[in-house]
Amino acid sequence: MPKKKDFRSYTFSEGRTGGGQLVEFTCRSEDVQRAKAILGMFRHIEEGSVTHRTNVSHGSYGRYSRYKIKQHKYAGGGHGGVCSYIEVLEIKDPPDGRCGIIIHLYNSRDGATFYECQTVKLACQIFEKHWGEYDPDLANLPGCLRQVRCGALTPWFYAIGDEELVGDYALPYGLENDPVYRLGRQFVVEENGIPTIKTCMGSRLAQRLPRTGYHDTHQVRLVYWDDGSTWEEGYPTPRPVEEQEMWITAAVQKFRELLGGKTTRFAIPFLDGTEFVGRINKPKRRTQCAAGDYYLKVTLVSGEVQEGWVNDFEPTVKAPDIIQYVTQRHPAELVRIEIVERKLKAGGKKWSGVFFKAPDRCD
């Protein structure tokens, strides 16, 4: 075993564990190959002093997180060979203004899904009603703010050590080291015969048993995509998006802006000169659904007429125009609403979109 004084001269190198984890190390030049061979004896290596803050119990085992987490509810089980669990979590120190009240579901077939909730009380009420369901759909329940499907990726609140948060996910060590499937690179991925553009979250190597027999494991590459799905090395092989195909991603972004209510029309020019035009067809009756300030003259049931500004109107799925917005707040008092003046918000939503407005913060 080398002594401390023997490291006056050393070299930097890297190697992989038996589980495919890339590890950087320093050692004497003559010991590089021996160090790499020793790494192969380990499946995974972590620096424990900075990795774990909380161990969240999941039945007979625990799951670590670098955040302070209180688990309010938990239930687990299995069905048809698939193991699953559901839990209500309160993250005490969520970073970047993230919502810290979470309903987290996991099953061994589809991976993880989580829902952001308004309050712990509402999250626990939802849990009590749906904990026995194998794959509950909670997205539209009162109290649920947003649904995130993680698939094989790790939800951000189960990040450990120095793992980087990328959107709603924790980026595990080693995913960004592949020379081809790099973090952030876009690929054309074929699913059921239909090409789709996805963003790569990285890849790692995994050991697989052969389909016949239980010996001679082989190594395969797993690629993780931004929608939580994965691709295992084989056919058809994803290919990088080429420069002349970048218009496709721009077109998808235009469609997303339309669905979000930012626009009511978009056009996509094709390479041969043809053009695809998409637009929202509004009802023939004139409605005022753009974000902004509205000066209204309102006639009440009593005959009284009131006037005033309604400021900062924002169209939503529940109240898509200013008339419905006011009527829903005073359903039994109004006879007539007249729009006298309006000041539309520059860059604001043009219509409600298909999504509920995400909250600015989570109380």
Q: How do residues 153-207 score in pLDDT, each as one tens digit?
A: 889 999 887 777 888 888 766 565 677 887 778 888 887 777 788 888 888 777 7
Determine the 3-state secondary structure of 49 from DSSP. Answer: helix
CA 265 to CA 262: how far, in whole Å? Answer: 9
Give the C-alpha distances (Å, rounded to integers) separating 279 from 229, 254, 282, 328.
30, 11, 9, 28
**Would you call 231 exposed, middle or buried from its count of C-beta atoms within 10 A (0-12, 13-18, 19+)?**
buried
Mean pLDDT of the chain: 78
**Residue written as token pair 């035009």:** 277
Number of helices and strands in the chain (H, E): 5, 22
**Cα(274)–Cα(162) distance, integer angstroms:** 49
Domain regions of the chain by residue span = 7-45, 49-169, 174-241, 245-279, 292-344
For residue 78, the one-letter residue type is G
pLDDT digits (tens, 9 = 90+) for 81-94: 778 889 999 999 99
Rg (alpha carbons) of the chain, rounded to whole number: 27
pLDDT in tens, 143-161: 888 888 888 788 999 988 7
Cis peptide, bond prior to residue 320, ω within 30 of zero: no
Q: How confident is the model at residue 210, as a pLDDT?
A: 64
pLDDT higher than threshold 90 for residue 127: yes
What architecture is the 174-241 domain classified under in CATH? Roll (2.30)
* pLDDT tens per residue across span 7-57: 455 566 778 887 777 777 777 778 888 888 888 888 777 654 444 566 777
Look at the pTM and tell me if it is higher than 0.75: no
What's the confidence (pLDDT) of residue 102? 95
